[in-house]
Chains A and B, each alone.
Chain A
Amino acid sequence: MYRSSGFISFFLRRLTGVALVLYLGAHLWVIGSATQGPAVFDARLAAVQSPFFKLAEIALLGAVWYHAFDGVRLLLVNWFRVTSYRASLLYTALVMTVLLTVMGGLPILLFLLEG
């Protein structure tokens, strides 16, 4: 395995991509139940209110931000001659991901702790 900062970005891109696809399936499972009546919808919604799913929501937020910023980073490389800034672009994507995940994750965490 050839380890490099590029490999880290590649690995995270794939990991978050798979995570988002799995989330999409779960999301459709919950939202799609709205067609089966309020009782089914409420039951499925209640199933994803556990602390585990709240923490998973924070992880999902991180995955969404990373995947988005990594995509922007790749578009910049596609359109402009910025390969010499590859490390800076990756670190920027990581820092933005962490910042926005913390900002969005804190309210979820507080909501979870308050019960």
Chain B
Amino acid sequence: MDTAIVRVQRFHPETDRRPRLERYSVPLTSDTTVLDALHWIKTEVDGSLTFRRSCRHAICGSCAMNVNGRNVLVCKTSLAREVGKGRPVTIRPLPYLPVIKDLVVDRSSFWEQYLRVKPWLVPPEQAPAKEFRMLPEEVAALQNAETCILCGACYSACQVVGLTKEYIGPHALLKAFLRVLDPRDTLPGERLAEVSGHDGAFRCHTIFNCIEACPKGLNPTQAIETLRLLAQKRERFEAERRDRLSQWAKAGSAP
């Protein structure tokens, strides 16, 4: 059976002063994922290797790590493809976040910033009799932002996050974008006020790392650009939203 050389960053907070790279030789088949390699090391070589994983279907967002310099979900990353790049496969924890142990990082700032934008939908008190029926163009405008799995790949690829943890971050701004553009939401003005502060959308340096890192192919940069434009015409946008909500209130369903 073929083998691949994998280098894994190890760090034990109680015994290590700084992280180090350990080399492992792991079995390689065409369908081995990087997560499979980590599982093999943990099972066969060193049970103390610590990493997060859960669903193995690229939907829980637990296993985001940095492989050969790129933030990826290791459960959907082919080991053979990484080996094919002609260098040892190097697995590190997500950058710019404090390492707790080995490949596990502290995501506190990620969640704190996420909660800051009130990521939940705030619908009108009086719901339509049947349902909120959105127009196809309203759904298209959301750019699939609802499919974000909150893996943290974009957040920890962002150089602005590396500079300051006060920045809201691409993940939370993408969620804010989703809620602001959702025609059912009643707080677009409040949300735009929050994201247009000095640590919000205008702090983005348009580096595009969030797009490169997103394992779901989402576009946080475009979402941030949209928030910037909407923040500049906040009152008009709020008025348009009130009109849209009143259409539902009058009709009891889609106009």
Q: Contact residues of A with B, CB < 8 Å?
A: 1-7, 9-10, 13, 74, 77-78, 81, 83, 86
Interface of A is mostly: helix
Chain A residues closer than 8 Å to B159, beta-carbon distance: 2, 7, 10
CB-nearest residue of chain A relative to B210? A6
Report if A83-B162 is in contact (Cβ < 8 Å); known contacts: A1-B95, A4-B212, A78-B228.
Answer: no
Chain B residues closer than 8 Å to A74, beta-carbon distance: 206
CB-nearest residue of chain B relative to A10? B207
Chain A residues closer than 8 Å to B208, beta-carbon distance: 4-6, 83, 86
Chain A residues closer than 8 Å to B225, beta-carbon distance: 77-78, 83
Most buried by B among A3, A5, A77, A83: A83
A111 to chain B minimum Cβ distance, whole angstroms, is: 37
15 A/B residue pairs, CB under 8 Å, sorted by A: A1-B162, A2-B66, A2-B69, A2-B95, A2-B162, A2-B209, A2-B213, A6-B209, A7-B207, A10-B159, A10-B207, A74-B206, A83-B221, A83-B225, A86-B211
Q: Contact residues of B with A, CB < 8 Å?
A: 66, 69, 71, 95-96, 156-159, 162, 205-209, 211-213, 219, 221-222, 225, 228
Q: How far is the CA of A13 from the CA of B160 in the complex (A)?
A: 14
CB-nearest residue of chain A relative to B94? A2
A92 to chain B minimum Cβ distance, whole angstroms, is: 15
Q: How far is the CA of A78 from the CA of B205 in the complex (A)?
A: 11
B201 to chain A minimum Cβ distance, whole angstroms, is: 11
By the criterion CB–CB under 8 Å, are B95 and A83 in contact? no
A7 to chain B minimum Cβ distance, whole angstroms, is: 6
Chain A residues closer than 8 Å to B221, beta-carbon distance: 77, 83
By the criterion CB–CB under 8 Å, are A4 and B206 in contact? no
Q: How far is the CA of A30 from the CA of B212 in the complex (A)?
A: 45
